[in-house]
Amino acid sequence: MTRQESEYGVTQAPDSETITVVEYPDGVQAAEGIDPVAVTGETGPSAAEFAELKAERDQLLDRLARMQAEFDNARKRQEREKQEFRDYATGAVVEQFLPVIDNFGLALGSNASAEQLRTGVELIVKQMDETLRQLQVQVIPTVGQQFDPRVHEALGTVEREDLPDHSVADEIRKGYRIRERLLRPAMVRIVNNPKQTEA
């Protein structure tokens, strides 16, 4: 009986059972029971190599998990330290204002005359100004200064001939800055001098 050669070099007799063809990776086909190495010419990893690769993968996954945990811990620690610093800074500022609050309480609880209360309040305001000075907080100069939109907020104009045009006529609310940082602008009215013309 003549034998026929298949597409993959596997021979069979015409009257024998049909050989099952299975699909292999990358589209490689081989007859069942035939070593795919004979068809592809490639060998897969040995059991020892596979175990070594698996152990290396497990080590990398473990290292990644530890690095992620360390990153999360560092982030939480940074947030906690930032909050502690804010609390410390706020506490240091509030502590300097406690004597001022105490004096306001004493003034409100006294039976002094209106003139005495006014004098007491003036002393408290001076105390507050001194506390702000110690905190490097400065009052923004206003009246008589040239209007500066970076530190002044204009709420209107006043027609006057005794002050330069576009200078500050009067202050409605004080402005403050700490060193070079603006805390709030000063609310002012600016001069409109009809005798002066723009250069």
Residues 107, 167, single domain; the answer is: no
Is 103 contained in some domain?
A: yes
The Cα–Cα gap between 167 and 92 comes to 38
The Cα–Cα gap between 110 and 98 comes to 19
Question: Which of 135, 162, 182 lies at the terminal end of a domain, its last residue?
Answer: 135
User: What is the model's pLDDT at position 196?
Assistant: 78
Query: Which CATH number does the domain housing residue 92 bear?
Result: 3.90.20
User: What is the model's pLDDT at position 34?
Assistant: 54
Number of domains in the chain: 2
The Cα–Cα gap between 54 and 60 comes to 10
Residues 52, 105, single domain; the answer is: yes
Residues 129, 55, single domain; the answer is: yes
Is 63 contained in some domain?
A: yes
Output DSSP code: residue 171: E
User: What is the model's pLDDT at position 6?
Assistant: 47
Show the domain range for 142. Answer: 138-192
| pLDDT string in tens for the chain (199-residue length) | 444 444 444 445 555 555 555 555 555 454 555 555 555 556 677 888 888 899 999 999 999 999 999 999 999 999 999 999 989 988 988 898 899 989 888 888 888 888 888 888 999 999 999 999 999 999 999 998 999 999 999 999 999 888 899 999 999 999 999 988 999 999 999 999 888 755 4
The Cα–Cα gap between 20 and 30 comes to 9
Is 85 contained in some domain?
A: yes
Is 30 contained in some domain?
A: no
Query: Which CATH number does the domain housing residue 188 bear?
Result: 2.30.22.10
| Residue whose structure tokens are 């001194």 | 130
Is 32 contained in some domain?
A: no
User: What is the model's pLDDT at position 46?
Assistant: 85
